[in-house]
Amino acid sequence: MAAHALPQDATLSAAETPYSIVAPNLISKYERTFYYRGISGDPPELLWRSDFETTPYPTPPPRARFFRVPTKTAHGVFGTLLNAVWDTVGAQILAALKARGLQHSALKTARFSSVASDGNGEETETFGPIVVWIAVRPHTTTAAAVRDATPAILRILADAQITGVVVEWYEGTVVRLVGGAPPLMRVPYTSNATFGLNHPFNAGLGIPIARESDDAQGTVTFLFKEVRTSGGDPSERILALTNKHVVSADPSTDYELDEANPQHILRAENEMDLRHGKNALEWQIEDNATLRAFRERIDADWRDTKGWRFGIVDWAPRVSSVSADGRSYTRDIATICVDREKLKNFKGNVIDLGNQYTSIQLEDLFWPDAAALVRRRKNFPFINLQLPIRRALPRHVLNPDGTNDQSENGDSPLQSDVSMVGKYGGATKLTLGRYSGMEAFICNELGEESREVVVYNYRKASGDFANYGDSGSLVFTGDGDAVAVLHSGMPRGGHNHVSYGTPVWWVMEQVRARYPFAEFCGIDYA
């Protein structure tokens, strides 16, 4: 853990220090700045926390020039009493916020681990309590207002017999993470010389796409076959799913295919991908005929921008919050009718995990719990670092509300299997993160409220789980279970500490309503 210089603030007077509490703040500059250190490259500042008076934040000793600030990681919450009542309690907390005129961006849960040094080079990781984590819209309230609202939230929790929970507040805004042609190549086996080098050009999921009109970029979630039209006529169309805000500059309008004036979507032309694919070859290419042929193919097929045309938009309903069974989810989806020539090598919805990690490293990342890893190795899903997407996780698995069969630390057995997730996005490529275990209640800038799947960054050294250009990415487990369609985050200073998505099981229901004979190419849907 690196030592960091202590924060300086030009607005402080000579008598004040970074550890002073300066009105209208209720917490020192030092604690506000460093409290969430580690959850992203530029974490949000703490506004208030309910245990401020009982749990002091560690500060440097007097006259210390450098101090090893603890590093935090956000984890999900599983198998607790709060999981069982979160639907009810979350709604009551939202009502309490609105009654006090507080404008929330997100209401979610987390549990933070903190790594600190003992001064002798040894580091220890400790877990804190469950946190009800509230983001309020920036510049809409004060620290005093959220402090005064905190007791009401604690009473709601107490009435539900939930104790030992801390309420923490910060400012943040939910932001969308948008950002005759050669066919996409086959996903290569690990023994192939092009393994890990042709990812920008193959038919694995995570395909980066862009609007032809203005080059705004996103990512393909998965592909499906129409099989039959809604009228029952045979259809050979293959469609790709992504976000509405990826294909449309105006997400507030409905769109259906206009054959006279189609909206073209491109396979995103990324000069960095081209350079990476070529530069990575140079040092090993001279004596390898396969790699020489691969480079020549890139030069020949992927320079003409018309070659990047991927398909045309078929259906893109306006972005909205749609109610289902008493819950509202974000409908931010669109379908693209893909040029069949592009999909000559498409064999199914498979994640090409690339060469960033070995299989052993991915095992350790997806299943850090030894017992879970032993179970998985009996039927390990990775085949040549290709991960078939096998099913959409149903809601009762994504949000388990039972408290039976807990381990000694209160974790559910499901935590080891579902809490670690991955995604392959057009911008940040393969990343891993931590699923929160409970849905978040979010509110966008238009005041539309919805439930969302929440993913936190894996750890500080791993970087952001998602960022601009990753919209539409499929969030999946190491077992090949589809979790969510990513659409938003809370970026700050070029980094993003939390990502939001719509559950895939619900998205597939919306797709099936539009395309009643849809076949999801290997993804089980019930």
Q: What is the mean pLDDT of residues 211-216?
A: 81
Backbone angles phi, psi at 268, to 5 degrees: -55, 125
pLDDT at 283 over 50: no
Which candidate, 320, 407, 296, places its Cα nearest to that of 288? Answer: 296
For the chain, give the mean pLDDT.
81
Lookup result for tokens 């999921």:
205
- Do residues 135 and 106 lie in contact, with contact meaning Cβ atoms separated by under 8 Å? yes
Q: How confident is the model at residue 325 (pLDDT cuts 50, 70, 90)?
A: low
CA pair distance 166, 164, nearest whole angstrom: 7
Contact 237, 280 (CB under 8 A): no
Give the pLDDT of residue 187.
Answer: 47
State pLDDT tens for residues 225-277.
999 998 899 999 989 999 999 999 898 999 999 988 899 988 765 544 544 54
Residues contacting residue 46 through CB under 8 Å, at least 6 positions apart? 27, 31, 32, 35, 36, 168, 169, 170
Token pair in block for residue 267:
């396979």
Closest listed residue to residue 94, CA positions, set 387, 417, 341, 451: 451
Query: How far apart are the C-alpha atoms of 47 and 143, rounded to whole Å?
Result: 6
Q: What pLDDT is stored for residue 381 in this prediction?
A: 62
DSSP letter at 308 equals G
Instruction: List Cβ neighbours of 379 (8 Å cut-off, separation of 6 or more).
Output: none
Residue 3 clears pLDDT 50, i.e. is over it: no
Check whether 189 has a pLDDT greater than 80: no
Give the pLDDT of residue 409.
38
- pLDDT for 226 equals 93
Calpha distance 72→110 (Å, rounded): 12
Q: Which run of H or E residues covers position 514?
A: helix 504-514
Structure tokens at 243: 């976000």
* pLDDT (mean) for 197-225: 74
When pLDDT is cut at 50, 70 and 90, the band that residue 416 belongs to is very low
pLDDT of 475 > 80? The answer is yes
Residues 6+ apart with CB under 8 A from 446: none
pLDDT at 274: 47
468 pLDDT exceeds 60?
Answer: yes
**H/E element, 73:** strand 71-75
Asked whether the predicted pLDDT for residue 179 surpasses 80, the reply is: no
pLDDT of residue 417: 58
Mean pLDDT of 105-131: 87
Other beta carbons less than 10 A from residue 128's beta carbon: 15
User: Which contiguous run of DSSP H or E holds residue 336?
Assistant: strand 334-338
Contacts of residue 200, Cβ cutoff 8 Å, sequence gap at least 6: 208, 270, 273, 274, 276, 277
